[in-house]
Amino acid sequence: MVKILLNGARGRMGQAIQAIAAAEEVEIVAAIDMGDDPVPGLKECEVAIDFSFHEATAPLAKLCAEYGKPLVIGTTGHTPEEKEAVAEYTAQIPMVWAGNFSTGVNLLFYLVGKAAKILGREYHPELIEMHHCHKKDAPSGTAEHLLEIIRAARGLTPEQEMHGRKGLVGERPDDEIGVHALRGGDVVGDHTVMFAGPGERIELTHKASDRRIFAQGALRAAHWVVGKPIGLYRIEDVLGLRD
């Protein structure tokens, strides 16, 4: 059993984690949300898990550093300043930080990287993601990581991303990544990267149908990170997928 503090406990992911905790050999010693004091739970836990809201992550990371507790972050939508603030604490505690804890999406990351490298510039990447109507950030954290992967493979910059198209946008250049965030209904999380080339197109898709996959990944990360050296880890480290 590993003892966890869960931040964002009343939310969709908080509920999904609580539903499987016992089966995954996790004891939730503190289930907190906005307005709750994390300190008593932090003192008792072995690791904290954050699935809450972008503004909440850096303050929690600061407290984890103060009490010497590892942190697993699933929350997305951080501003560049918030990301920087959180990253500072990776010099004080072990941290696993991932925009998507599913095994399937991590395979998608790998396949998209390979495809972006193998296919030439004339195979145009377009990224489409769809989530439920309650999601507050766009594009998704998963989409942001897919964009990083495509940019790295193709030598592109964030300025070469085109988020949605409207009006006289002109012809699509080769060195562009189209990004389209769809919202509606109760979609758990779909991500497609399309490479549209001359005479053919390749589509790589992952569709999540149950939040359990994210919850299982996050709890696996919580078990894994306890006792690890200080530093920043990704889900690839937890899954042993790092090249």
Ligand X SMILES: O=C(O)C1=N[C@H](C(=O)O)C[C@H](O)C1
Sites of contact with ligand X (CB under 6 A): 76, 99-100, 131, 135, 140-142, 189
Q: Locate tokens 């964002």: which residue? A: 8
Question: In this chain, which of 22, 25, 40, 55 binds ligand NDP, going by CB under 6 A?
Answer: 55
Q: Is 170 exposed, middle or buried (0-12, 13-18, 19+ CB in 10 A)?
A: exposed
Told to check if 11 binds ligand NDP by CB under 6 A, we report yes
* 3-state SS class at 17: helix
Question: In this chain, which of 99, 129, 147, 154 binds ligand NDP, going by CB under 6 A?
Answer: 99
Question: In this chain, which of 30, 52, 71, 221 binds ligand NDP, going by CB under 6 A?
Answer: 52
185 φ/ψ sector (left φ>0, alpha ψ -120 to 50, else beta): left
Told to check if 190 binds ligand NDP by CB under 6 A, we report no
Binding mask 114-153 for ligand NDP (x = CB under 6 A): -----------------------x---x------------
Q: Locate tokens 């995954």: which residue? A: 24
Q: In 10 A of CB 190, how many CB atoms?
A: 17
Please indicate if the annotation marks 141 as binding a ligand: yes
Contact 190, 205 (CB under 8 A): yes
Told to check if 41 binds ligand NDP by CB under 6 A, we report no
**The entry of ligand X, ligand NDP, none that residue 131 binds, CB within 5 to 8 Å by partner kind:** ligand X
Tokens of 33: 């949300």
Told to check if 48 binds ligand NDP by CB under 6 A, we report no
Question: What are the residue ranges of helices labelled H in 75-232?
Answer: 80-88, 103-118, 141-154, 212-225
Strands 124-131 and 189-197: antiparallel
The residues, any chain, with a CB within 8 Å of residue 243's CB and separated by 6 or more, are none
Closest CA to 162 of 139, 173, 146, 178: 178
Q: How far is the CB of 33 from ligand NDP (least distance, A)?
A: 4
Active site residues: 131, 135
Told to check if 51 binds ligand NDP by CB under 6 A, we report yes
**The entry of ligand NDP, ligand X, none that residue 33 binds, CB within 5 to 8 Å by partner kind:** ligand NDP
d(CA 105, CA 186): 19
**The entry of ligand X, ligand NDP, none that residue 38 binds, CB within 5 to 8 Å by partner kind:** none
Please indicate if the annotation marks 155 as binding a ligand: no
Report the binding-site residues for NAD(+). 8-13, 36, 74-76, 98-101
| Interaction site with ligand NDP (CB under 6 A) | 7-8, 10-14, 33-34, 51-53, 55-56, 74-77, 98-101, 137, 141, 214
Report the binding-site residues. 8-13, 36, 74-76, 98-101, 132, 141-142
